[in-house]
A and B are shown apart, each in its own frame.
Chain A
Amino acid sequence: MPNKNGLHLITPTSIASTGTGNSSSINTNGSVTFSTCATLSLNGVFSADYDNYMVVCRCNGSTTAAGVNARFRVSGTDASGSNYTWQYLYAGSTTVEGARESSQTSLRFGPRIINNLRDGFITNVYGPYLAQPTAVRGVGVCSESGAVLQDAAGTHSLSTSYDGVTLLPTSGTFTGRVAVYGMRN
């Protein structure tokens, strides 16, 4: 039996973005290029074909430091209730710290981002399309002070099936490219 591709690039069925002067577009193979977005919504990226997903993003922010948060969405509407919990891990120079935020309206999805510097993250999303709580784990790099390590783990407690996700900086806007991959079941 031939080997099968384990990671599939997924094309959103549609996207939407907000923010003064924002733009966003779906590239030929399915990644999304975006600029100056206060929110970026990817619809139709989660489906019954895959349980788990990988989101890969390179980006930069517009403010001194802002986190990349996310909300799951279904049929074009964000789940914005206070059902998100996230834990972060930060290492900057010799400082290592963590904290948990409960009953939030979004969860931490990527690292802090900063103006005109280059950041990146990979976030795995476990079971968003399944009618069960969703788990998230991200590993990121922020170029603040040269380099900062920031990871996040999060959950969304509702047992609802979601087909999309909205990415939103906690302040300002962000610019970059993002792609969603399904891990073959």
Chain B
Amino acid sequence: MPINGLVVMTPTSIASTGTGNSSSIGANGKVTFSSCATLSLNGVFTSSYDNYMISYTATRVGTTNDFVVVRLRATGTDAITNYTYQYLYTDSTTVAAARTTSATYNQPYLYTRETEPLGGPLFVYGPYLSQATAFRSTTMGWNGTNPDTYDSAATHSTTSSYDGITFLSSGATVRLTGTLTVYGFNQ
């Protein structure tokens, strides 16, 4: 019998904030959320798997161009220091890259829009291990009226074990509506 390669990780609990927010866990582990300033998933990283893929899509409530960003968390508390992220972005013929160090979050996604969603996988390497965590995303987002590519590589240098992740917007000025599923790579 073949061994399933990707295992859906059902959060042990979720929490969300924001005006009019709601969030719920579906029968198969998918998380549906609406109008969330923050969305926190607890218990999605475990000792059973080293590496994870998060499939995420969202639109926004609000009009500000805020990046969609993430923070690792442990036992219900976000880690808010020690992130470094590098992005590579293309918009028509424009190619741009930059690195941000000593950040308070990882920035794996570009902007989303009110009705057009961003999306793409975020790969997370070793979040539950007591070592630095690496991230890699390959996504599409919006910087105006056309879709753009946005890739990122990132690290969180604290050598702690994390069991969860929080999604929010970089400027805390928009709220997010969408779905996500966390998968563990069976090993």
**Residues in chain A within 8 A of chain B (CB atoms):** 5-9, 11, 27, 29-31, 54, 56, 58, 89, 91-96, 117-122, 139-143, 145-151, 177, 179, 181-182
Contacts and interface: CB of A to CB of B under 8 A. Distances in A.
Contact of A119 (B2, B3, B97, B134): B134
- Grouping DSSP codes into helix (H, G, I), strand (E, B) and loop, the A interface class, with mixed when no group exceeds half, is strand
B173 interface: no
A148 B86 contact: yes
B125 A147 contact: no
Interface in B72-104: 84-88, 95-99, 101
8 contacts: A96-B88, A118-B126, A120-B126, A143-B134, A146-B155, A149-B87, A149-B151, A179-B187
Of the listed residues A54, A122, A149, the one surrounded by the most CB atoms of chain B closer than 10 A to its CB is: A149
Interface string B99-112: 10100000000000
Nearest to B154: A147
Contact of A93 (B99, B135, B155, B185): B99
Given A8-B4, A177-B187, A94 B133 contact: no
B132 A149 contact: no
Interface string B1-38: 01111100000000000000000000000000000000
B136 A140 contact: yes
Interface in B118-161: 123, 125-126, 131-136, 138, 151-155, 157
B50 interface: yes
B169 interface: no
Contact of A120 (B123, B157, B186, B187): B123
A7 B5 contact: yes
B3 A117 contact: no
Contact of B98 (A30, A94, A121, A181): A94
A30 B125 contact: no
A27 B5 contact: no
With most chain B CB atoms within 10 A of its CB, the pick from A7, A29, A54, A147 is: A147
Q: Which 5 A-B pairs have the closest CB atoms?
A: A146-B84, A120-B125, A7-B5, A31-B187, A141-B153
B51 interface: yes
The residue among A31, A122, A146 with the most chain B CB atoms within 10 A of its own CB is A146
B127 to A, nearest CB: 10
Contact of B125 (A5, A54, A58, A92): A58
Given A27-B187, A146-B84, A181-B5, A141 B155 contact: yes
Nearest to A49: B2
Contacts of A54: 5
